[in-house]
Amino acid sequence: MLATLRDKQIFGWAMYDFANSAFATTILAVIFNKYFALEVAGGERGIFIAGLHIHGATLFAIIVSLSMAISALTAPILGAIADFSQRKKAFLAGFCYTGIIFTALLYLVQPGDVWSGAFFFIMANIGFSGGNAFYNAFLPQMTTPANVGRVSGLGWAFGYIGGAALLLINLFMLNGLYIPGAGRITFTVPACFLSVAIWWALFSLPTFLWVREKKTDKKGVKDRSYAAIGLARVKRTLSRIKKFRELSLFLIAFLFYNDGIETVVVMTSVFAAEVVGMQTREIIFLFLFIQAVAFIGAIFFGYVSDRLGHKRTILCTLFIWVIAVIWAFFLGWLLEARREFWIICFLAGLVLGGSQAASRALQGILTPVSHAAEFFGFFAISGRFASIFGPLSYGLLIYLTGSLRWGILSVAVFFIIGAIILLQVDEKAGMAEKAGYEEQLSSNMGITS
């Protein structure tokens, strides 16, 4: 039984990771990406656009980038509106159910349905990524600097459990499920997409039932439209964020290294199929293995992050990321390629949860609570912009070289640049900047009242 209301809220908050991570695994990472790139868009056979031959993997990279571009442009405005209107929960629900509806529509996509499949995916991914900005914005109100790493890590851990659980169900669906009275039923690949929508809708309910949004006095809201307020606050944020040197540097670093992480996540399944020669069932087993390792990594690095420091923890994970992607380029130089790939995926899984949990924790301790949604909107926009350029660079290299190996090697560049910038961030100075701002804000409110 949960001991306190805060414990219950933290559990409800973490359950959203449990719910929507099914989209991250089945749609983005394992089944739909491979299905779209190799079957819907024809794989190496590809399609022709304006006389240009486009590899299926390149086309998938393009639609991922397009969906991220839309999310990147809207995230800071919506974050500012949500902060001022104090309706983070309502915005989270809107994006959540947009994602659910269009994920369900992916069930209708068959080989050759390139443009309808692309549209449904773009809308579903906007719902998924847009909702995460508001979900992340709840973190500062439920934690303290002493435990933000653990709570952030808990969210990621719940996500890996949820994503892995549905992925395991998808494996049984494809192999055949025994249903009493109906016998053994084998489901199609698109049926797995429908299962994601059902899972997401069902397990996000605790979030909307138990997580409460803190209210503060906001004057003058009725005199202006939320859209005007949102645009005005974005402009102020652009100038305000410059005052937070450490936070600004972190967001730039995150832009680069998260570029690499997001690209690895969405393209590994395609790489495994075309380069390693894995079939769908084996790829699912591989990602279940990655999820299990990532769960351990999220918990482990959550504690390490609180003890060693969030910046140092991220740097450690980036070092391992660089080793993993360079090894993937030279796949087969030491052992049989398939065995090496499993080892590489173990390394990637170990730091996948750790790097993301530590990043969210570092953002949390540098972000003023009063501007949580607004600043986490910029955290989101960094991630969304990362997801534009990473897959796009990967897809361009596939188009130019015809090799997925060169695409994966390009990812190392983003990790290295991100690490170099992150080295310039001073955690203690950033926390002092935050404390000074909140103290000044509190004093100003006292004077005006």
Residue 225: per-residue pLDDT: 64
Give pTM, 2 decimals. Answer: 0.77
pLDDT score at 230: 66
CA distance 212 to 210: 6
**104-139 pLDDT, tens per residue?**
999 999 999 999 999 999 999 999 988 887 888 788
Q: What is the pLDDT of residue 223?
A: 47
Instruction: pLDDT tens for the chain, 449 residues: list them.
Output: 344 446 788 899 999 999 999 999 999 888 999 999 989 998 878 888 888 888 888 899 899 888 888 887 777 677 667 666 678 888 899 999 999 999 999 999 999 999 999 999 999 999 998 888 788 878 877 777 677 777 877 887 898 789 889 999 999 898 877 777 777 787 899 999 999 999 999 999 999 999 888 765 555 555 456 667 666 766 777 777 777 888 888 888 988 898 888 888 888 888 898 888 888 888 988 988 887 888 788 788 878 888 888 899 999 999 999 999 999 999 888 888 899 999 999 999 989 878 877 887 888 888 877 766 667 666 666 666 666 787 888 888 888 877 778 878 888 999 999 999 999 998 888 888 888 877 777 776 555 54
Residues paired with 185 in a beta bridge: 177
pLDDT given for residue 148 in this prediction: 72
Nearest CA to 329 out of 382, 264, 378, 284 is that of: 264
- Name the residue type at position 238: L
Alpha-carbon distance 235 to 7, whole Å?
36
Length of the chain: 449
* Domain at 17-211+225-448, CATH class: mainly alpha
Please give the Cα distance from 259 to 279 (Å, whole number): 27
Q: According to the model, what pLDDT value does residue 219 have?
A: 53
Report helix angle 148-175 to 5-22, nearest 10: 40
Position 448 scores a pLDDT of 53
Where are the chain's structural domains? 17-211+225-448
Please write down the HEC assignment for all residues of the chain.
CCCCHHHHHHHHHHHHHHHHHHHHHHHHHHCHHHHHHHHHCCCCCCEEECCEEECHHHHHHHHHHHHHHHHHHHHHHHHHHHHHHCCHHHHHHHHHHHHHHHHHHHHHCCCCCHHHHHHHHHHHHHHHHHHHHHHHHCHHHHCCCCCHHHHHHHHHHHHHHHHHHHHHHHHHHHHCEEECCCEEECCCHHHHHHHHHHHHHHHCHHHHHHCCCCCCCCCCHHHCCHHHHHHHHHHHHHHHHHHCHHHHHHHHHHHHHHHHHHHHHHHHHHHHHHHHCCCHHHHHHHHHHHHHHHHHHHHHHHHHHHHHCHHHHHHHHHHHHHHHHHHHHCCCCCCCHHHHHHHHHHHHHHHHHHHHHHHHHHHHHHCCHHHHHHHHHHHHHHHHHHHHHHHHHHHHHHHHHCCHHHHHHHHHHHHHHHHHHHCCCCHHHHHHHHHHHHHHHHHHHHHHC
